[in-house]
Chain A
Amino acid sequence: MELKEKLLSSFMAFEERIDVHAELHDVRTAALKNFENKGFPTKKEEAWKYTSLNAVLKNDFTVFPKQENTVQYADVKKYFLHEIDTYKVVFIDGVFSSHLSATTHEGIDVCLLSSALNKPKYKEIVDTYFNQIVNKEESLTSLNTAFANEGAYINIPRNKVADKPIEIMYFSTGNEAALLVQPRNLIVVGENAQVQIIERHQSLNENPVLTNSVTEIFAQKRAFVDVYKIQNDSLSANLVDNTYVSQKEESSVAVNTFSFGGNLTRNNLNFYHFGERIVSYLNGITIIGEKQHVDHYTLVHHATPNCESHQDYKGIFTDRSTGVFNGKIFVEKEAQKTNAFQKSNNILLSDKATINAKPQLEIFADDVKCSHGCTIGQLDETAMFYMQQRGIPKKEAKALLMYAFSNAVIESIKIPELKQRITKIIANKLGVKMGFDL
C-alpha cells in the first residue's frame, strides 16, 4: 500500500487510541483533509523543485511502532550535551522515555505535548497556541497536525529565565524495518522570558527513518529564544523539519541549524513578525558528502516596521552531495525601516557536488534595507599555500580553512560546551585532529 493510503486509512485507528477532545478532533480532521487533497509534495511544486521525496517514500514505513523500545543511557550518552546539566525531553521511536528524560514543572514547564493536549489545566494555552502559526496549506505540516500527539511542550512564563538549556531528543532504534515518526513541539516563551533549546533527531542503526517534525515557537514581548538544531544522523535517516516562529515586539529569536548528516534533510524555517523592533536570526552550517542532500528553505515575513532579520548560511559540499538554499524575504507595505539581510556562502570541494542557491525578495515597503548575497566557490588557493608554507599539510590546511569559513556561524553559538561539541563534529567531518580544539 502506498504510504499516503496507509496514513489515511490509519487515521481513525489513531484517533481511537488517544484521548481527544472535540476541538482537537476538528483540527486534525481538517489537516488530514488538506493532506489528502495535496498529498506528498513533488518536484512539480516550485518549493520542492530541488528536493525529491520519491525515493524515500518508497520505503514500507511503519506508521506506529508496534512495541515500546528502550535504550540504555550509556549507549546514547554521547548524543547529549552531557558536559553540563540540562533539562531533557527524550523520545524513543516517537514514544516518551521517562528514564532518559529530565522534565520539570517548577517555575517553567518542560514536559510532554501529549499531556498538555489532554490535561484541562493546559487547555487555555493549547487553545491559544497549538496549530496557530503553522501554514495550514502546507501538506507535510498538515500531515503532522493530523497525527500530532507527542513531542516536547515547553512553557517559560513571563519574566522567567530557564536555568539550564533544554534538550529535545528523538531516537529511533531501528527495531522497525522502516519507521515514520511525526514529532510535534510546542514552545511558548512569555514576556521577558528566556530559553535555550537544543533539538536533535538520531537514529541508532541503519534502518530507514522518515521524520516529519513540526515545531511552533511563540516568543512574546522582549522574549529571548535560542534554538540549536543538530542534524548529524546516519545515512538512512531522512528529516523534514517544519519550524514556525511567531515573534512579538522587541523579541529576539535565533534558530541555528547544523546539518552534517542524514540522507535527505529539508528544513522549512518560517518567521512571522507581530510587533516592532523584532530581531530574527537564521544561521546554518552545512557540511555534507557522499550522496547526502540538505535543503534549507527559509521565509522571513516582515509585517511590522523597524524589525531586523539576519540570515547567514555556510555550506561545504563534497563527493556527490547536493545542497539547496532558498531564502524568501517578504516585506509588507507597513513594514517600513526593515533591515533584512541574507547571506549564503558555499564551497564545492568536488566536481560532482552541487548547490542551488536562490534568494527571493518581495518588497512592498519603500524605506527598507535589504540585501542578499550568494557565493559559490572553491577553497582559496592562496590561503592553502600560506598554511602549507608554514608546514601545515594539505588536509589539515583544508580543515582549518573550512573552519575559518564557517567561523562566523560557530561564533553565534552561545553555549560554550555546545560550541566545543560542534567544532569537534566539524573536525571529525573533515577527518582531522588538530593540535587544539577545532
Chain B
Amino acid sequence: MLSIKNLHASIGDKEILKGINLEVKAGEIHAIMGPNGAGKSTLSAIIAGNENYEVTQGEIFLDNEDISELAPEERAHKGVFLSFQYPVEIPGVSVTNFMRTAINETRKANGQEEMPANEMLKVIREKSELLEIDRKFLSRSLNEGFSGGEKKRNEIFQMAMLEPKLAILDETDSGLDIDALRIVANGVNKLKSDKNAIVVITHYQRLLDYIVPDFVHVLYNGKIVKSGGKELAHELEEKGYDWIKQEQEA
C-alpha cells in the first residue's frame, strides 16, 4: 500500500531524511521508533504532504501511485490520514461542522454526493461512542480549550469518521493518561482491518502494548537503521537508544 523509496528531505539547508525505504502492506501495523530528533515527525509530515519540507530525492507511492507531488488535501482524499502530535485549535468551528466539511470535501473530490444530514448524524453518533466521546464535546470549537488527552481522542475520532486507507499516528500516546490511552488504542484496533494500514510513530514502547505492531523500525539520524518484529520494541524499552547510536557511530 505505502511504498517509500530512497526518500531524502530537507528543511532549508538541513537534510533531515537521508534515504528512507519503507514498505507497508494492507492489513499491517508498523511502528517507527527512534530517539528525539531522528526525523520521525518529519517523515510523517512528508508522507502527508507538508510543504515546509523539500523532498530532494526519492518517491512515495500509495497503491502504486506516486503521491509525492500531490497537495496535502489530495493525499487526504486518496486516504492518507495523519494524527497530529499537536492538533490545531480552530475557534468558532465546531467539531461536528469541521468533520462535515472534511467528509463532504473528500466525497466531492472523489466524485460522490454529499453525505445526507441524517446519515452524518448517525455516523457521528456511532464513532463518538467508539471513542467514548460525550455528545456535548462535539459542539465545542475544534480543539479549543481541549485537554491534551481530549485532543488526541478527537484526532482518532476524526480518523474513525474519515476511514483512511493509511493512518499515521504521530506520538499519539504523548499526553495521554492510562485510561485515555486504552480508549484511544481500543478505537484504533477496532478501526483496523485487512484493507487499511497503520503506521505508529512513537518514542516509547508503551502504546505498542495496546496497538501491537507487525513490524518495528528504528529511525536514527534520518535513516532506518534497524527493522524487526514487535520484540525489537521491547529491546529498545529495556536498553534505550544508546546502543543503536553506538552501533551506528562505530
Taking beta carbons and an 8 Å cutoff, which residues of A are in contact with B? 380-383, 385-394, 396-397, 400-401, 403-404, 407-408, 410-411, 434-436
Q: Are A404 and B101 in contact (CB under 8 A)?
A: no
Give the interface segment out of B7-15, B26-34, B70-78, B186-194.
B70-78
Quick one: which of A382, A392, A407, A411 contacts B73, CB cutoff 8 A? A392
What 6 new A-B contacts, CB under 8 Å, besides A390-B102, A436-B100? A386-B84, A388-B76, A389-B76, A390-B98, A390-B162, A404-B91
Taking beta carbons and an 8 Å cutoff, which residues of B are in contact with A? 45, 48-52, 71-73, 75-77, 80-82, 84, 86-88, 90-93, 97-98, 100-106, 109, 114, 141, 158, 162
Please, which residues of chain A bring their CB within 8 A of the CB of B141? 407
The distance in angstroms between the C-alpha atoms of A34 and B50, with both chains bound, is 60
Q: Are B76 and A391 in contact (CB under 8 A)?
A: yes
Q: Are A391 and B98 in contact (CB under 8 A)?
A: no
Please, which residues of chain B bring their CB within 8 A of the CB of A389? 48-49, 72-73, 75-76, 80-82, 84
The distance in angstroms between the C-alpha atoms of A380 and B92, with both chains bound, is 16
Measured CB to CB, the closest approach of chain B to A170, in angstroms, equals 31
The distance in angstroms between the C-alpha atoms of A393 and B48, with both chains bound, is 14
Measured CB to CB, the closest approach of chain A to B115, in angstroms, equals 9
Measured CB to CB, the closest approach of chain B to A430, in angstroms, equals 13
The distance in angstroms between the C-alpha atoms of A404 and B82, with both chains bound, is 22
Q: Are B71 and A394 in contact (CB under 8 A)?
A: yes
Q: Are B73 and A391 in contact (CB under 8 A)?
A: yes
The distance in angstroms between the C-alpha atoms of A400 and B77, with both chains bound, is 19
Q: Are A435 and B72 in contact (CB under 8 A)?
A: no
Please, which residues of chain B bring their CB within 8 A of the CB of A400? 90, 93, 98, 101
Measured CB to CB, the closest approach of chain B to A135, in angstroms, equals 36
In chain B, what residue has the closest Cβ to A411?
A: B92
The distance in angstroms between the C-alpha atoms of A434 and B100, with both chains bound, is 9
Please, which residues of chain B bring their CB within 8 A of the CB of A404? 90-93
The distance in angstroms between the C-alpha atoms of A385 and B51, with both chains bound, is 8
A-B contact pairs, 10 of them (CB 8 A): A382-B86, A385-B45, A387-B102, A390-B158, A392-B105, A393-B109, A394-B71, A407-B92, A435-B105, A436-B97
Please, which residues of chain A bring their CB within 8 A of the CB of B104? 435
Please, which residues of chain B bring their CB within 8 A of the CB of A390? 76, 98, 102, 158, 162
Q: Are A410 and B92 in contact (CB under 8 A)?
A: yes
Q: Are B101 and A388 in contact (CB under 8 A)?
A: no
Quick one: which of B51, B52, B73, B90 contacts A393, CB cutoff 8 A? B73
The distance in angstroms between the C-alpha atoms of A404 and B141, with both chains bound, is 9
Identify the interface centre among B73, B84, B104: most chain A CB within 10 Å of its CB: B73
The distance in angstroms between the C-alpha atoms of A78 and B40, with both chains bound, is 54
The distance in angstroms between the C-alpha atoms of A383 and B89, with both chains bound, is 8
Q: Are B91 and A385 in contact (CB under 8 A)?
A: no
Quick one: which of B49, B52, B71, B90 contacts A401, CB cutoff 8 A? B90
The distance in angstroms between the C-alpha atoms of A403 and B51, with both chains bound, is 23
The distance in angstroms between the C-alpha atoms of A408 and B141, with both chains bound, is 12
Q: Are B88 and A392 in contact (CB under 8 A)?
A: no
Beyond A391-B73, A391-B76, A393-B73, whether A386 also contacts B101 by CB under 8 A is no
